[in-house]
Amino acid sequence: MDTMTLKAMRFFGYHGVYAEENKLGQKFEVELELKLDLSRAAAEDDLDATINYAELHAVTKEIVEGPPFKLIEALAGAIATRLLQSYTNLNEVTVRVTKPNPPFEIYFDGVTVELRRKRDEHGTIVPV
């Protein structure tokens, strides 16, 4: 299986458990790792044989900048589910969501959640 990766996409959202996070918002970083067959796209140089990464960015942006989730786990899950439902040529997706500045008095580069999902033989979206 081939891999397409979208790295360090940055968005502003209102996700979090605390009311001030939902009111003030903050930056989120998202990385997508997609598993799909890119052999036809590579051979034919045809956009229809792949997934347009501008569309992937737009879908991710819509979710991250949309209605708030309490947990970044739920945010990552929503992105994974939407991508797998939208793109039938996508076999598996890994979504990494980083909250660079959680509202705590601790010093680190943020917290990242990574979810891996795929379609099983029945078409159901399942954890990998």
Provide the annotated active-site residues.
99
Identify which of 104, 120, 107, 124 has the alpha carbon closest to the alpha carbon of residue 21.
Answer: 104
R_g of the chain, CA atoms, integer Å:
16
Strand partners, 90: 36
Rounded CA-CA distance 110/31 in Å is 14
Chain mean position to CA 106: 26
